[in-house]
Amino acid sequence: MGTERILAYGLLGLPLAFAALPIYVHVPRFYAEAAGMELALLGAILLGARLFDAGIDPWLGWLADRVARPTMVALALPPFAIGFVALLNPPAEHAGVWLLGSLALTYVGFSAASVAYQAWGADVGVDSGLRTRLTAAREGFGLIGVVLAAALPAFLAANLNEGISRLSWVLPPLLLFAAAATFSRVGAGRQVPAISPPLWPSLRQVLGDSTFRRLLGVFVANGIAAALPATLFLFFVADVLQLETESGPLLALYFVAGAASLPLWVQLSARFGRVIVWLGAMGLSIVAFAGASLLGPGDLWAFAAICLASGLALGADLALPAAIAADLGDRQGQAGACFGVWNLVAKLNLALAAGLALPLLSLLGYVPGGGGAQGLAALTLAYALLPLAFKALAGALLWRWRHSLENLT
Protein backbone atom coordinates (compact mmCIF):
# COMPACT_ATOMS: atom_id res chain seq x y z
CA MET A 1 0.00 0.00 0.00
CA GLY A 2 1.38 3.39 -1.02
CA THR A 3 1.85 6.39 1.22
CA GLU A 4 -1.10 8.20 -0.38
CA ARG A 5 -3.55 5.47 0.58
CA ILE A 6 -2.09 5.21 4.10
CA LEU A 7 -2.58 8.95 4.58
CA ALA A 8 -6.09 8.79 3.07
CA TYR A 9 -7.00 6.09 5.56
CA GLY A 10 -5.60 8.09 8.46
CA LEU A 11 -7.40 11.31 7.52
CA LEU A 12 -10.77 10.20 8.92
CA GLY A 13 -9.09 9.96 12.33
CA LEU A 14 -8.85 13.77 12.37
CA PRO A 15 -12.56 14.65 12.82
CA LEU A 16 -13.14 11.68 15.12
CA ALA A 17 -10.40 12.86 17.48
CA PHE A 18 -11.42 16.50 16.99
CA ALA A 19 -14.70 15.62 18.68
CA ALA A 20 -13.16 13.30 21.26
CA LEU A 21 -11.19 16.08 22.99
CA PRO A 22 -14.23 18.21 23.90
CA ILE A 23 -16.25 15.11 24.82
CA TYR A 24 -13.70 13.81 27.31
CA VAL A 25 -11.79 16.93 28.37
CA HIS A 26 -14.00 20.01 27.97
CA VAL A 27 -17.46 18.63 28.78
CA PRO A 28 -16.92 18.12 32.56
CA ARG A 29 -15.82 21.70 33.19
CA PHE A 30 -18.12 23.14 30.49
CA TYR A 31 -21.25 21.73 32.14
CA ALA A 32 -19.98 22.53 35.63
CA GLU A 33 -19.54 26.20 34.75
CA ALA A 34 -21.78 27.03 31.78
CA ALA A 35 -24.70 24.89 32.98
CA GLY A 36 -23.99 25.21 36.72
CA MET A 37 -24.20 21.47 37.41
CA GLU A 38 -23.00 20.02 40.72
CA LEU A 39 -19.86 17.89 40.44
CA ALA A 40 -21.50 14.84 42.03
CA LEU A 41 -24.45 14.92 39.60
CA LEU A 42 -22.16 15.66 36.67
CA GLY A 43 -19.89 12.76 37.59
CA ALA A 44 -22.85 10.40 37.92
CA ILE A 45 -24.24 11.38 34.50
CA LEU A 46 -20.83 11.07 32.84
CA LEU A 47 -20.31 7.69 34.48
CA GLY A 48 -23.72 6.42 33.35
CA ALA A 49 -23.34 7.69 29.79
CA ARG A 50 -19.83 6.33 29.47
CA LEU A 51 -20.81 2.94 30.87
CA PHE A 52 -23.57 2.82 28.25
CA ASP A 53 -21.06 3.83 25.60
CA ALA A 54 -18.58 1.19 26.72
CA GLY A 55 -21.26 -1.49 27.03
CA ILE A 56 -22.36 -1.25 23.39
CA ASP A 57 -18.84 -1.54 21.99
CA PRO A 58 -18.61 -5.36 22.02
CA TRP A 59 -21.92 -5.56 20.14
CA LEU A 60 -20.73 -2.90 17.68
CA GLY A 61 -17.49 -4.83 17.18
CA TRP A 62 -19.45 -8.03 16.51
CA LEU A 63 -21.64 -6.09 14.05
CA ALA A 64 -18.56 -4.66 12.33
CA ASP A 65 -17.49 -8.21 11.44
CA ARG A 66 -20.85 -8.75 9.69
CA VAL A 67 -21.33 -5.47 7.83
CA ALA A 68 -18.97 -3.97 5.29
CA ARG A 69 -16.65 -1.69 7.26
CA PRO A 70 -17.12 1.39 5.01
CA THR A 71 -20.91 0.97 5.12
CA MET A 72 -20.96 0.89 8.92
CA VAL A 73 -18.71 3.95 9.13
CA ALA A 74 -20.94 5.88 6.71
CA LEU A 75 -24.12 5.07 8.65
CA ALA A 76 -22.55 6.06 11.96
CA LEU A 77 -21.24 9.51 11.00
CA PRO A 78 -24.55 11.50 10.79
CA PRO A 79 -25.79 10.72 14.33
CA PHE A 80 -22.29 11.35 15.62
CA ALA A 81 -22.22 14.86 14.10
CA ILE A 82 -25.76 15.74 15.21
CA GLY A 83 -25.16 14.56 18.77
CA PHE A 84 -21.90 16.46 19.04
CA VAL A 85 -23.45 19.77 17.98
CA ALA A 86 -26.28 19.25 20.48
CA LEU A 87 -23.85 18.30 23.27
CA LEU A 88 -21.98 21.61 23.18
CA ASN A 89 -25.11 23.76 22.82
CA PRO A 90 -27.15 22.93 25.94
CA PRO A 91 -30.44 24.73 26.75
CA ALA A 92 -30.84 27.03 29.73
CA GLU A 93 -32.93 24.45 31.60
CA HIS A 94 -32.78 20.68 32.10
CA ALA A 95 -29.06 20.57 31.32
CA GLY A 96 -28.68 17.15 32.94
CA VAL A 97 -31.26 15.50 30.69
CA TRP A 98 -29.81 17.25 27.65
CA LEU A 99 -26.30 16.10 28.58
CA LEU A 100 -27.38 12.49 28.96
CA GLY A 101 -29.37 12.41 25.70
CA SER A 102 -26.84 14.21 23.53
CA LEU A 103 -23.99 12.12 24.94
CA ALA A 104 -25.89 8.91 24.16
CA LEU A 105 -26.47 9.96 20.52
CA THR A 106 -22.88 11.14 20.12
CA TYR A 107 -21.47 7.99 21.67
CA VAL A 108 -23.52 5.62 19.49
CA GLY A 109 -22.35 7.31 16.29
CA PHE A 110 -18.79 7.84 17.46
CA SER A 111 -18.35 4.30 18.76
CA ALA A 112 -19.85 2.59 15.71
CA ALA A 113 -17.67 4.67 13.40
CA SER A 114 -14.52 4.15 15.49
CA VAL A 115 -14.83 0.36 15.83
CA ALA A 116 -15.52 -0.16 12.13
CA TYR A 117 -12.77 2.30 11.18
CA GLN A 118 -10.17 0.56 13.32
CA ALA A 119 -11.17 -2.86 11.97
CA TRP A 120 -11.03 -1.44 8.44
CA GLY A 121 -7.37 -0.57 9.04
CA ALA A 122 -6.63 -4.09 10.28
CA ASP A 123 -8.20 -5.42 7.07
CA VAL A 124 -6.27 -3.34 4.57
CA GLY A 125 -2.96 -3.87 6.39
CA VAL A 126 -1.39 -7.06 5.06
CA ASP A 127 1.36 -7.41 7.68
CA SER A 128 2.45 -6.09 11.08
CA GLY A 129 4.61 -3.34 9.64
CA LEU A 130 1.83 -1.96 7.45
CA ARG A 131 -0.71 -2.18 10.26
CA THR A 132 1.67 -0.21 12.50
CA ARG A 133 1.99 2.49 9.81
CA LEU A 134 -1.78 2.61 9.27
CA THR A 135 -2.34 2.90 13.01
CA ALA A 136 0.27 5.65 13.24
CA ALA A 137 -1.37 7.54 10.35
CA ARG A 138 -4.78 7.28 12.01
CA GLU A 139 -3.45 8.42 15.37
CA GLY A 140 -1.25 11.11 13.80
CA PHE A 141 -4.20 12.70 12.02
CA GLY A 142 -6.17 12.19 15.21
CA LEU A 143 -3.64 14.23 17.15
CA ILE A 144 -3.86 16.99 14.54
CA GLY A 145 -7.61 16.97 15.14
CA VAL A 146 -7.05 17.17 18.87
CA VAL A 147 -4.67 20.12 18.47
CA LEU A 148 -7.27 21.94 16.38
CA ALA A 149 -9.93 21.25 18.99
CA ALA A 150 -7.61 22.47 21.74
CA ALA A 151 -6.57 25.66 19.97
CA LEU A 152 -9.75 26.79 18.17
CA PRO A 153 -11.95 27.79 21.17
CA ALA A 154 -9.58 30.65 22.01
CA PHE A 155 -9.80 31.92 18.42
CA LEU A 156 -13.55 31.49 18.08
CA ALA A 157 -14.48 33.54 21.16
CA ALA A 158 -12.90 35.52 23.97
CA ASN A 159 -14.76 33.39 26.51
CA LEU A 160 -13.60 29.75 26.65
CA ASN A 161 -17.08 28.27 27.14
CA GLU A 162 -18.48 30.27 24.22
CA GLY A 163 -15.54 29.14 22.10
CA ILE A 164 -16.25 25.50 22.97
CA SER A 165 -19.88 25.95 21.97
CA ARG A 166 -18.90 27.44 18.60
CA LEU A 167 -16.36 24.66 18.11
CA SER A 168 -19.22 22.19 17.64
CA TRP A 169 -20.19 23.77 14.30
CA VAL A 170 -16.72 23.16 12.86
CA LEU A 171 -17.14 19.37 13.03
CA PRO A 172 -19.79 18.71 10.30
CA PRO A 173 -17.87 20.23 7.34
CA LEU A 174 -14.58 18.81 8.63
CA LEU A 175 -16.15 15.36 8.90
CA LEU A 176 -17.64 15.57 5.41
CA PHE A 177 -14.29 16.50 3.83
CA ALA A 178 -12.29 13.79 5.62
CA ALA A 179 -14.87 11.07 4.96
CA ALA A 180 -14.97 11.91 1.25
CA ALA A 181 -11.17 11.60 1.01
CA THR A 182 -11.04 8.32 2.97
CA PHE A 183 -13.90 6.62 1.16
CA SER A 184 -12.59 7.57 -2.27
CA ARG A 185 -9.02 6.32 -1.74
CA VAL A 186 -9.10 3.31 0.60
CA GLY A 187 -10.23 -0.16 -0.47
CA ALA A 188 -13.08 -1.98 1.23
CA GLY A 189 -10.93 -4.60 2.96
CA ARG A 190 -12.10 -8.15 3.49
CA GLN A 191 -15.48 -9.48 2.39
CA VAL A 192 -18.27 -9.95 4.92
CA PRO A 193 -18.44 -13.68 5.81
CA ALA A 194 -21.57 -15.53 4.71
CA ILE A 195 -21.71 -17.44 8.01
CA SER A 196 -20.34 -16.08 11.27
CA PRO A 197 -20.67 -16.95 14.97
CA PRO A 198 -23.24 -15.25 17.24
CA LEU A 199 -22.24 -12.45 19.60
CA TRP A 200 -21.29 -14.39 22.73
CA PRO A 201 -19.24 -17.13 21.03
CA SER A 202 -17.44 -14.39 19.11
CA LEU A 203 -16.59 -12.54 22.32
CA ARG A 204 -15.50 -15.75 24.02
CA GLN A 205 -13.11 -16.37 21.15
CA VAL A 206 -11.63 -12.87 21.57
CA LEU A 207 -11.22 -13.20 25.34
CA GLY A 208 -10.05 -16.78 25.06
CA ASP A 209 -6.80 -15.52 23.54
CA SER A 210 -4.40 -15.31 26.50
CA THR A 211 -2.13 -12.86 24.68
CA PHE A 212 -5.05 -10.51 24.05
CA ARG A 213 -6.05 -10.74 27.72
CA ARG A 214 -2.51 -9.80 28.76
CA LEU A 215 -2.50 -6.86 26.38
CA LEU A 216 -5.82 -5.74 27.87
CA GLY A 217 -4.35 -5.94 31.37
CA VAL A 218 -1.54 -3.57 30.42
CA PHE A 219 -3.98 -1.39 28.53
CA VAL A 220 -6.29 -1.04 31.55
CA ALA A 221 -3.55 0.15 33.90
CA ASN A 222 -2.01 2.41 31.28
CA GLY A 223 -5.43 3.73 30.26
CA ILE A 224 -6.41 4.75 33.78
CA ALA A 225 -3.07 6.53 34.06
CA ALA A 226 -4.03 8.55 30.96
CA ALA A 227 -7.74 9.02 31.76
CA LEU A 228 -7.26 10.69 35.15
CA PRO A 229 -5.15 13.64 33.93
CA ALA A 230 -7.29 13.93 30.76
CA THR A 231 -10.38 14.43 32.91
CA LEU A 232 -8.69 16.77 35.38
CA PHE A 233 -6.33 18.73 33.10
CA LEU A 234 -8.41 21.92 32.89
CA PHE A 235 -9.14 21.89 36.63
CA PHE A 236 -5.42 21.47 37.43
CA VAL A 237 -4.27 24.23 35.08
CA ALA A 238 -6.92 26.68 36.27
CA ASP A 239 -6.80 26.11 40.03
CA VAL A 240 -3.40 24.64 40.93
CA LEU A 241 -1.29 26.47 38.35
CA GLN A 242 -3.69 29.44 38.05
CA LEU A 243 -3.02 29.57 34.32
CA GLU A 244 -6.52 29.13 32.89
CA THR A 245 -5.85 31.37 29.87
CA GLU A 246 -2.90 29.14 28.92
CA SER A 247 -4.89 25.89 28.92
CA GLY A 248 -5.43 25.89 25.14
CA PRO A 249 -1.77 26.39 24.18
CA LEU A 250 -0.67 23.85 26.79
CA LEU A 251 -3.09 21.24 25.43
CA ALA A 252 -1.91 22.03 21.92
CA LEU A 253 1.74 21.59 22.95
CA TYR A 254 0.93 18.20 24.50
CA PHE A 255 -0.80 16.89 21.38
CA VAL A 256 1.62 18.44 18.89
CA ALA A 257 4.44 16.65 20.72
CA GLY A 258 2.47 13.41 20.46
CA ALA A 259 1.86 13.84 16.74
CA ALA A 260 5.47 14.80 16.05
CA SER A 261 6.76 11.76 17.93
CA LEU A 262 4.76 9.18 15.96
CA PRO A 263 7.28 8.66 13.12
CA LEU A 264 10.03 8.24 15.72
CA TRP A 265 8.08 5.59 17.66
CA VAL A 266 7.27 3.69 14.45
CA GLN A 267 10.94 3.76 13.43
CA LEU A 268 12.14 2.71 16.88
CA SER A 269 9.58 -0.10 17.10
CA ALA A 270 10.73 -1.48 13.75
CA ARG A 271 14.27 -1.62 15.13
CA PHE A 272 13.83 -2.62 18.77
CA GLY A 273 10.30 -4.07 18.92
CA ARG A 274 7.05 -2.44 19.95
CA VAL A 275 7.05 -3.70 23.54
CA ILE A 276 10.50 -2.39 24.50
CA VAL A 277 9.80 0.96 22.88
CA TRP A 278 6.43 1.23 24.64
CA LEU A 279 8.18 0.52 27.95
CA GLY A 280 10.61 3.35 27.30
CA ALA A 281 7.71 5.72 26.64
CA MET A 282 6.10 4.69 29.93
CA GLY A 283 9.29 5.58 31.76
CA LEU A 284 9.28 9.03 30.18
CA SER A 285 5.67 9.53 31.23
CA ILE A 286 6.40 8.53 34.84
CA VAL A 287 9.13 11.18 35.06
CA ALA A 288 6.72 13.79 33.69
CA PHE A 289 3.93 13.01 36.16
CA ALA A 290 6.37 13.03 39.06
CA GLY A 291 7.39 16.54 38.06
CA ALA A 292 3.78 17.72 37.81
CA SER A 293 3.17 16.87 41.47
CA LEU A 294 5.76 19.49 42.51
CA LEU A 295 4.24 22.46 40.68
CA GLY A 296 2.29 25.43 42.01
CA PRO A 297 0.84 28.79 40.92
CA GLY A 298 2.54 30.37 37.92
CA ASP A 299 4.82 27.44 36.99
CA LEU A 300 4.09 27.86 33.29
CA TRP A 301 7.40 26.87 31.73
CA ALA A 302 7.94 23.89 34.01
CA PHE A 303 4.47 22.59 33.19
CA ALA A 304 5.06 23.27 29.49
CA ALA A 305 8.15 21.03 29.70
CA ILE A 306 6.01 18.35 31.38
CA CYS A 307 3.38 18.67 28.64
CA LEU A 308 6.13 18.25 26.06
CA ALA A 309 7.60 15.13 27.70
CA SER A 310 4.25 13.48 28.39
CA GLY A 311 3.11 14.39 24.87
CA LEU A 312 6.11 12.60 23.39
CA ALA A 313 5.16 9.52 25.41
CA LEU A 314 1.58 9.84 24.22
CA GLY A 315 2.62 9.04 20.65
CA ALA A 316 3.77 5.58 21.71
CA ASP A 317 0.64 5.00 23.81
CA LEU A 318 -1.57 5.72 20.82
CA ALA A 319 0.27 3.86 18.06
CA LEU A 320 1.91 0.79 19.57
CA PRO A 321 -0.74 -1.01 21.68
CA ALA A 322 -3.42 -0.49 19.02
CA ALA A 323 -1.07 -1.92 16.38
CA ILE A 324 -0.49 -5.00 18.57
CA ALA A 325 -4.27 -5.34 18.97
CA ALA A 326 -4.68 -5.11 15.18
CA ASP A 327 -2.23 -7.99 14.75
CA LEU A 328 -4.17 -10.08 17.26
CA GLY A 329 -7.48 -9.24 15.56
CA ASP A 330 -6.06 -10.28 12.20
CA ARG A 331 -4.74 -13.51 13.73
CA GLN A 332 -8.21 -14.32 15.05
CA GLY A 333 -9.96 -13.31 11.83
CA GLN A 334 -12.37 -10.95 13.63
CA ALA A 335 -10.76 -7.56 14.00
CA GLY A 336 -14.12 -5.90 14.63
CA ALA A 337 -14.82 -8.00 17.71
CA CYS A 338 -11.29 -7.39 19.02
CA PHE A 339 -11.61 -3.63 18.66
CA GLY A 340 -15.09 -3.74 20.18
CA VAL A 341 -13.60 -5.21 23.35
CA TRP A 342 -10.60 -2.90 23.06
CA ASN A 343 -12.77 0.21 22.93
CA LEU A 344 -14.94 -1.12 25.75
CA VAL A 345 -11.89 -1.22 28.01
CA ALA A 346 -10.67 2.20 26.87
CA LYS A 347 -14.02 3.77 27.67
CA LEU A 348 -14.35 2.03 31.01
CA ASN A 349 -11.07 3.70 31.93
CA LEU A 350 -12.49 7.11 31.05
CA ALA A 351 -15.81 6.37 32.77
CA LEU A 352 -14.08 5.40 35.99
CA ALA A 353 -11.85 8.46 35.84
CA ALA A 354 -14.82 10.84 35.60
CA GLY A 355 -17.30 8.88 37.68
CA LEU A 356 -14.95 8.28 40.59
CA ALA A 357 -12.44 11.13 40.54
CA LEU A 358 -14.93 14.01 40.39
CA PRO A 359 -17.14 12.88 43.30
CA LEU A 360 -14.03 11.98 45.31
CA LEU A 361 -12.58 15.44 44.76
CA SER A 362 -15.88 16.97 45.83
CA LEU A 363 -15.85 14.83 48.98
CA LEU A 364 -12.29 15.93 49.77
CA GLY A 365 -13.26 19.58 49.60
CA TYR A 366 -12.26 20.59 46.09
CA VAL A 367 -14.55 23.11 44.37
CA PRO A 368 -13.84 24.36 40.82
CA GLY A 369 -12.41 27.84 41.09
CA GLY A 370 -11.09 27.35 44.62
CA GLY A 371 -11.40 24.70 47.31
CA GLY A 372 -8.63 25.75 49.70
CA ALA A 373 -5.31 24.05 50.35
CA GLN A 374 -6.86 20.66 51.14
CA GLY A 375 -8.93 20.64 47.96
CA LEU A 376 -5.98 21.67 45.78
CA ALA A 377 -3.79 18.99 47.38
CA ALA A 378 -6.45 16.40 46.54
CA LEU A 379 -6.56 17.68 42.96
CA THR A 380 -2.78 17.38 42.63
CA LEU A 381 -2.90 13.84 44.03
CA ALA A 382 -5.58 12.78 41.54
CA TYR A 383 -3.98 14.57 38.58
CA ALA A 384 -0.32 13.60 39.03
CA LEU A 385 0.42 10.96 41.67
CA LEU A 386 -2.36 8.44 41.00
CA PRO A 387 -1.52 8.33 37.26
CA LEU A 388 2.13 7.77 38.16
CA ALA A 389 1.21 4.70 40.23
CA PHE A 390 -0.98 3.24 37.48
CA LYS A 391 1.68 3.89 34.84
CA ALA A 392 4.25 2.04 36.95
CA LEU A 393 1.86 -0.91 37.27
CA ALA A 394 1.35 -0.94 33.49
CA GLY A 395 5.10 -0.96 32.94
CA ALA A 396 5.58 -3.86 35.35
CA LEU A 397 2.89 -5.92 33.60
CA LEU A 398 4.26 -5.11 30.17
CA TRP A 399 7.76 -6.21 31.22
CA ARG A 400 6.39 -9.43 32.69
CA TRP A 401 4.52 -10.34 29.49
CA ARG A 402 6.95 -8.78 27.00
CA HIS A 403 7.81 -12.03 25.21
CA SER A 404 4.27 -13.12 24.38
CA LEU A 405 3.22 -9.60 23.35
CA GLU A 406 6.15 -9.14 20.99
CA ASN A 407 6.13 -12.58 19.36
CA LEU A 408 2.66 -12.79 17.80
CA THR A 409 3.38 -15.08 14.87
Give pLDDT tens digits along the chain (409 positions). 678 888 999 999 999 999 988 887 788 888 888 777 877 788 888 878 878 888 888 888 888 888 888 999 999 999 999 999 999 998 877 888 899 999 999 999 999 999 999 888 877 776 777 888 888 889 889 888 988 887 888 888 888 788 888 999 999 999 999 999 999 888 766 665 545 667 777 778 888 888 889 999 999 899 888 888 888 888 899 999 999 888 878 888 888 898 889 889 989 988 898 999 999 999 999 999 899 989 999 999 999 999 999 999 999 998 899 888 888 887 777 777 888 888 888 877 777 776 777 778 888 888 887 667 888 888 888 888 888 989 999 999 999 998 888 876 5
Q: Is residue 247 part of a domain?
A: yes
Q: What is the pLDDT of residue 1?
A: 64
| Sequence letter at residue 237 | V
Alpha helices per DSSP H over 293-401: 300-332, 335-363, 372-380, 386-400
Three-state SS for 299?
coil
Q: CA 291 from chain center: how many Å?
A: 23
CA distances from 61 to 29, 98, 300 (A): 31, 27, 42
Contact residues for 245 (Cβ-Cβ < 8 A; gap 6+):
none
Domain count, the chain: 1
Q: Is residue 190 part of a domain?
A: no
Q: Is residue 191 part of a domain?
A: no
Do 375 and 361 meet the contact criterion of CB atoms below 8 Å apart?
Answer: yes
Q: Is residue 146 part of a domain?
A: yes
Torsion angle, CA of 216/221/222/223, rounded to 10 degrees?
A: 80
* Residue 362: count of CB within 10 angstroms of its CB: 19
Please name the helix (run of DSSP H) or strand (run of DSSP E) that holds residue 284, with its range, or none.
helix 274-292
Q: Is residue 397 part of a domain?
A: yes
pTM > 0.85: no
Sign of torsion over alpha carbons 143, 148, 153, 154 = positive
Q: Of the candidates 377, 403, 322, 331, which has an alpha carbon nearest to the alpha carbon of residue 133?
A: 322
Range of the domain at 153: 3-185+196-406
Q: What is the pLDDT of residue 189?
A: 62
Q: What is the CATH number of the domain that holds 289?
A: 1.20.1250.20
- Spatial distance between the Cα atoms of 312 and 343, rounded to a whole number of angstroms: 23
Q: What is the pLDDT of residue 22?
A: 86
